[in-house]
Structure 1
């Protein structure tokens, strides 16, 4: 067997151009796996999370206050363990035996004392596995006949060099220019420059074998690449070190094929499931994460049930409110409803733990196991998801191993930050997009310049920009000197940088006929190879092909053409349908009636065509939520027996005793971390509003208060329904209809005074039809200030009177009736007005109708369907 080994070949994509058998191309971890298999040393894979938590136990055992890491361990235990374990593994690969002689720096002494108890008692890392391989090679045999190293031998760690020394036929591979003609001259000059002999080219590369390409956006460049590769087939290698998944997506969408770039991401839906599930352990609940957990495509119980609950939370942000219980009743009536309700009780209605003190390990383990069972069941039921669910199950197993290790160490509780870090270390590094594999006929591709070792007629290096440079060493000069005295080989960042400069040349060197560098959009950092090419050939920048501007260029012109700009259609002033439309006349609300009056096209979209914009489930917040919660406070307050006889302090005491339950079930956003100011504001406003309301009601000698009172009646031939926020019954049979608003004193006081209180007028008419008598007064109660504005004097003595013009309420009803008739007649003629936001006199109806104000700004998602997008 003939093996090719390189430091960056573990992530090689391929496919290889020649058919090869018995000639694997591998990186260090690939070769280690082969050696362990041949020597009988294979073992189950150990997750990083398990190794980190295991090492953490030994750090804690040695965590005296004098240790250099003690304070870091106390602040961030898992992060500190991961960092120190990486140091320890690096030193072991460099030859450290775990010792620190007398007089060594304190850091080395502390690490050595931890190593005395950790060595052999933590899952093996790469160094321990190589040591076992080295020992087995003394007596064991491998089928290796030769070994070709594409990176210098001294770039491998000491442990690897000791293993390679025991393998036969190890030879070095030296990159050579593969190009023809002028391209070959450029390649030789680049090699010389890296070796320290910078000599600009004597002759420009004018034969088109070197091309720089640039577009203003990534998307434009991706579309060019797809068209170019389809129309000019050749033996081509695509080198894409970042955003390869985006390139693949565009290639497939435009008729090409995917090269299978593996973009590792913890954002794969299956890999988010565990984090969201464990987030449900904490108190206070994060409402945003709760909605994500419920609406996420992958979860521990049926998605259809979770989406119903998500809608309930979006309506009433919390767990246990009326909307939540209603959703549970619906779920109970479905197939396996009882089992689903048990799952809901376990995941969402059970015990929670404080975010600062953490949760018991056993509780977290139980949740991990239940999620694994759900994922395995789905793995059986849903074959297409096998790849992504397999990675999620692997992630769960790694977190479970880490938690079991912490449990064996006697960890009392696990905080959210530790869970997040375990998830980070447990996420499989192979968790690329399982639905974007390499397809038949794909380009040869590589995701690292160092993996370009096979030549190709054409090489396209996709948007090289900011390179990842070697990290500086993290130890002091005295610590490094001691390590070297101990025979430990520590990596040299300067040597690593020199190796990188050689590896960066490989895409250029393997090009036989043409080398194309697709530059990132302007403004990105220039890659060192691009800078080198401009040093060798300064006029190269003049040869840059601009994909946006140079459509006539022969290199681009066959793939694109200028498109004549066409103006977008303006919004029409009306829709002429050519046939009559009947306006619905049953169970209309004030909202629907207002839409018909002010924006009939909007009414047609919503109420006739029943169109709905795409929406994202999210819990309400801001003043909208605060107003809704305050309405609920007064609704519950006046449901209490004899509440009208309470003192202000009694009513406020009731509020303080009951507000926490209301917030947990319907306003949990205000209980979240960081919402303290909003919570305090809500409590303060409600207490002030309760005191103010009780004083107003006492002054008016109110005998009963109805909240959310349903009313129904007729407006001409139209049946209307609605709910009055507060209907206050007074002695003598009088009543006052009040609308509660969170804020807006001046706006609503002026509306009442100017006779623009249409909604209250409609409700007054409906109440009169229902009760036989009109309310004695109409008004607004402003929660934020506690102010009350009413339309008549001497009804509520403490309220501020804003008397509308004479007969204003009856006039509004007549105008509403006329507006309805006007719109109905228009529709009967097949004519629908298109009113822009803001309305205007040009859109008003005949005399006696209400002014037309146009749609609300938030309804533009409907109105853009009619055109006028540029306005």
Structure 2
């Protein structure tokens, strides 16, 4: 076997060596040569994950208790152990034998003390040392290695650490170790193409490769080729398939997401994301992708979260009850119970022991194995979990993790996973590599994709005293500049072997300005005239990608493509009228009607048509309440619980502040658990104080007014006849009345609770006689004497004509008129929809004013106020449908690119 060895050649293909790997010629770097020698000398062993080694080293640091590292380790044990292990491996790779000795610098002394007690699995540095020691022991009777020649790109004596010793030992074992003296000294033609963005650069590079007509070219891709591969496929070319490994891959996010819902407090948004997570493609085209949680369980739990943004409440428990009642759902019920137990009894942050974490992740491991069946992503996720468990075993059962330490362990255990886009396709038109030193151009053309400046990989920096100490322990250390020069020289040698170098790069990448690769500066310096700046040299070779397009097609560096330039077309203007004219749709009528539907019909007929008529709705995971909606649900439930509790206990008079606060705290995990998350303390405290003060005012004011609450969240369903032009339509009108109360004479009062920051909205609606929701509730009572009002929970104020509740002297709401206005608006809307005219009144008001959903709210409110005043003057009504929060503003044309 003949080996071409280079300090920067790890990752090269065997086929890149001479006539190919099949002839016994290979190219490899340090990692590859160590692995080959381990195989030949029977030194291979199962690999140990780096995270496990960090855990082992953390245990050694804890046992050594060295003064120099003590304080840092107490504050951040995992990061300290990882950093110290990196230093230790660097010292060992340099050839140092870490043994305690007098007078050592503090850092070196700490490393030596820890090494004395460490039970550490070997890493790459230990593998190298083991090879050197074995070859030294066999020097008198060398073992046959099957290697004829090692041709070194660098002089062995210029390499760091134990590498000079290793190569000398190989030479003594019969291997012909020679240094290559055929360093390239050519001067390739340089063509530098700079595009404004990655898309333009990808198009240029793809055209160049597609226009070669089969002529060979070498591709050097120092950045990912995802966009370039898309452009190549558009032209019927093979993908290069370069995409770096990353910790942000789906397979490595499963365990962190799972643990985030297994540890208190539970974030319901994360829980929703976990429930909705799909991990496998659909087995058939007419089925949905497969998730960790089966669809039967997922949908029910997501609907429960949409109703109650927390766990353990009535909606959540109803899911388990429903599944338990169906004998065919036994498997789904078991999974549902596992998830429910996980999130309703999460691990306390101060009880993060290996035993608790192992028990919590047991179901995840079982589920990954059941679904995996060879799927690369799930196999990788399973390996992540297994490594995490190995780390826990290494730390020991008495180790209590801190939340930050747990996060660091999970991240370290995952490592980096390959990209799904890293799928190169076979082609004879070009070869590809990812580092300049790997290039074997041999006078041909090289396309360099992504020639941007990259941060140099530097080793550990030792101060002069530490260098002296390490050299006394046997280390051979290179100056950092000399170490960096090894890679620079290797890359430059390879580039100088090209006949023509076509560099395609972007001025910006991921919206960040880029700078040319440092090797381009070296190439430019070789071409610079006396006193000429490198930037000016590069500018002389710069080609604008637009200049490659001429009357005869596209041409660049000998590559040609026929290109047809389409005639310019102006962008499509947004329509002035948002109304949709469609075929008559008399079948689009409500099967049942609620006030929310009525409001949509009055405010935006398109919204009702999309949501109710056609059943288009956002995913359940996007419907989990947050913010004011979530808090409003919570406070509504607190009122209901306090009233029911008072009835059961026979309590007279309003509940106390302590009762309100106790009930609020009991319902928080079920209905607003995200407020319990770290960092939300101020928001939680503010909400609690506001709610207690407001509800005290609510119950006290009702009692002072002589009103007794008779029911809370009372459901009603009443028949409603709508006189449509195509015939009468009877539908059930249904809903829930928040609070129903009576005075001493039995006169009913309906109170609607609102948690809102819009303190003026509901008073203005009430005063204008447009409190349509209150009118609908009063109509459902069929009692002409019924009184109505709002209670603003956030402000602690009533909006009512009853002076005992609201002292502002408001006019009595004309319920009959408001209800008539409501039914007339509903009838008019359904008639128009049935005839095929579907308007978007709320959005049209914004469009006519030259505004859109991004318009500041205060400005939009003024626009709606003007439209409402105009409508009132004509006896009509305008309902603000809140286009800024609408799920359908893209469909109606108010938002988005009309082209």
Cα deviation for residue 71 of structure 1 reads: 0.6
Residue 812 of structure 1 pairs with residue 814 of structure 2: no
Cα deviation for residue 392 of structure 1 reads: 2.5
Cα deviation for residue 822 of structure 1 reads: 2.9
Residue 222 of structure 1 pairs with residue 224 of structure 2: no
- Describe how 1:99-110 pairs up with structure 2 within 5 A: 99-110=99-110
Deviations 1:172-225 (A, max 9, x none): 2356448xxxxx4x34xxxxxxxxxxxxxxxxxxxxx42111222212222332
Match of 1:724 in 2: 737
- Describe how 1:389-428 pairs up with structure 2 within 5 A: 389-407=378-396, 411-428=398-415
Which is worse superposed, 720-729 or 434-443? 434-443
Match of 1:570 in 2: 574
The separation in 2 between residues aligned to 1:608 and 1:15, in whole angstroms, is 62
Deviations 1:309-347 (A, max 9, x none): 244334422211223223334444425134213422453
Residue 468 of structure 1 pairs with residue 455 of structure 2: yes
The separation in 1 between residues aligned to 2:296 and 2:248, in whole angstroms, is 22
The separation in 2 between residues aligned to 1:607 and 1:288, in whole angstroms, is 26
1:166 is paired with a residue of what secondary structure? helix
Deviations 1:395-442 (A, max 9, x none): 2232222211111xx64312222222223332245x212564222227
Which is worse superposed, 70-79 or 14-23? 14-23
* Cα 1:849–1:156 shift into 2, 3 Å: farther
Cα deviation for residue 587 of structure 1 reads: 1.4
The separation in 2 between residues aligned to 1:579 and 1:619, in whole angstroms, is 35
1:731 is paired with a residue of what secondary structure? coil
Paired residues of 1:291 and 1:618 also in contact (CA < 8 A): no
Match of 2:520 in 1: 530
1:816 is paired with a residue of what secondary structure? helix
- Describe how 1:281-292 pairs up with structure 2 within 5 A: 281-292=262-273
Gapped runs of 5+ residues in structure 1?
Answer: 179-183, 188-208
- Describe how 1:335-354 pairs up with structure 2 within 5 A: 335-354=330-349
Deviations 1:470-497 (A, max 9, x none): 4375433322222234442234211023
Deviations 1:31-51 (A, max 9, x none): 222211121111111111121
The separation in 2 between residues aligned to 1:560 and 1:539, in whole angstroms, is 34
Match of 1:159 in 2: 162
Q: Please, which of 222, 247, 250 is the counterpart of residue 269 of structure 1?
A: 250
Match of 1:73 in 2: 73
Match of 2:555 in 1: 554
Cα deviation for residue 617 of structure 1 reads: 3.3
- Describe how 1:634-645 pairs up with structure 2 within 5 A: 634-642=639-647
1:25 is paired with a residue of what secondary structure? strand
Which is worse superposed, 703-712 or 624-633? 703-712
Paired residues of 1:574 and 1:834 also in contact (CA < 8 A): yes
2:47 is paired with a residue of what secondary structure? coil
The separation in 2 between residues aligned to 1:415 and 1:739, in whole angstroms, is 45
Cα deviation for residue 803 of structure 1 reads: 3.0
1:511 is paired with a residue of what secondary structure? coil
* Cα 1:637–1:703 shift into 2, 3 Å: same
Q: Please, which of 709, 731, 735 is the counterpart of residue 714 of structure 2?
A: 709
Match of 1:786 in 2: 796
Match of 2:145 in 1: 142
The separation in 1 between residues aligned to 2:346 and 2:768, in whole angstroms, is 54
Paired residues of 1:837 and 1:853 also in contact (CA < 8 A): no
Paired residues of 1:761 and 1:813 also in contact (CA < 8 A): yes
- Describe how 1:31-430 pairs up with structure 2 within 5 A: 31-64=33-66, 67-118=67-118, 121-137=119-135, 138=138, 139-167=142-170, 168-174=175-181, 176-177=183-184, 184=186, 186-187=187-188, 209-232=189-212, 233-252=214-233, 255-298=236-279, 302=294, 305-306=297-298, 308-332=300-324, 333=326, 334-354=329-349, 357-368=350-361, 370-380=363-373, 383=374, 385=375, 387-407=376-396, 411-429=398-416
Paired residues of 2:7 and 2:487 also in contact (CA < 8 A): no
Paired residues of 1:709 and 1:725 also in contact (CA < 8 A): yes
* Cα 1:602–1:507 shift into 2, 3 Å: farther
Cα deviation for residue 779 of structure 1 reads: 0.8
* Cα 1:336–1:107 shift into 2, 3 Å: same
Cα deviation for residue 5 of structure 1 reads: 2.3
* Cα 1:828–1:625 shift into 2, 3 Å: closer
Paired residues of 1:234 and 1:457 also in contact (CA < 8 A): no
Residue 766 of structure 1 pairs with residue 780 of structure 2: yes
Match of 2:854 in 1: none
Cα deviation for residue 847 of structure 1 reads: 9.4
Deviations 1:589-608 (A, max 9, x none): 22222222232233222232
Paired residues of 1:285 and 1:668 also in contact (CA < 8 A): yes
The separation in 2 between residues aligned to 1:400 and 1:528, in whole angstroms, is 43
* Cα 1:846–1:316 shift into 2, 3 Å: closer
Q: Please, which of 434, 438, 442 is the counterpart of residue 424 of structure 2?
A: 438
The separation in 1 between residues aligned to 2:514 and 2:564, in whole angstroms, is 25
Paired residues of 2:92 and 2:129 also in contact (CA < 8 A): no
Match of 2:532 in 1: none
Paired residues of 1:394 and 1:428 also in contact (CA < 8 A): no
Residue 738 of structure 1 pairs with residue 745 of structure 2: no
Cα deviation for residue 445 of structure 1 reads: 1.7
**What is the aligned length?**
823
1:158 is paired with a residue of what secondary structure? coil
Cα deviation for residue 673 of structure 1 reads: 0.4
Match of 1:192 in 2: none
Paired residues of 1:648 and 1:690 also in contact (CA < 8 A): no
Match of 2:27 in 1: 25
Q: Please, which of 628, 631, 644 is the counterpart of residue 626 of structure 1?
A: 631
Deviations 1:490-533 (A, max 9, x none): 34211023223323425532323443343443832232233344
* Cα 1:642–1:842 shift into 2, 3 Å: closer
Deviations 1:111-143 (A, max 9, x none): 22222222xx31112232223323443142211
Paired residues of 1:462 and 1:519 also in contact (CA < 8 A): no
2:455 is paired with a residue of what secondary structure? coil
The separation in 2 between residues aligned to 1:478 and 1:861, in whole angstroms, is 65
Q: Please, which of 419, 439, 458 is the counterpart of residue 445 of structure 2?
A: 458
Paired residues of 2:320 and 2:337 also in contact (CA < 8 A): no
* Cα 1:599–1:396 shift into 2, 3 Å: closer
The separation in 1 between residues aligned to 2:273 and 2:835, in whole angstroms, is 47
The separation in 2 between residues aligned to 1:614 and 1:426, in whole angstroms, is 33
Paired residues of 2:602 and 2:829 also in contact (CA < 8 A): yes
Deviations 1:15-45 (A, max 9, x none): 6384431223222222222211121111111
1:147 is paired with a residue of what secondary structure? strand
* Cα 1:96–1:401 shift into 2, 3 Å: same
Deviations 1:688-708 (A, max 9, x none): 122111211211222333222
Q: Please, which of 619, 622, 627 is the counterpart of residue 617 of structure 1?
A: 622
Gapped runs of 5+ residues in structure 2?
Answer: 280-290, 529-535, 724-729, 849-865
Paired residues of 1:269 and 1:297 also in contact (CA < 8 A): no
Which is worse superposed, 100-109 or 32-41? 100-109
1:344 is paired with a residue of what secondary structure? helix
Match of 1:803 in 2: 810
Cα deviation for residue 261 of structure 1 reads: 2.0
* Cα 1:560–1:82 shift into 2, 3 Å: farther
In angstroms, what is the RMSD of aligned CA positions? 3.2
2:645 is paired with a residue of what secondary structure? coil
The separation in 2 between residues aligned to 1:602 and 1:270, in whole angstroms, is 38
The separation in 2 between residues aligned to 1:831 and 1:249, in whole angstroms, is 42
Paired residues of 2:278 and 2:292 also in contact (CA < 8 A): no
2:16 is paired with a residue of what secondary structure? coil
2:784 is paired with a residue of what secondary structure? coil
The separation in 1 between residues aligned to 2:872 and 2:755, in whole angstroms, is 35
Cα deviation for residue 735 of structure 1 reads: 0.9
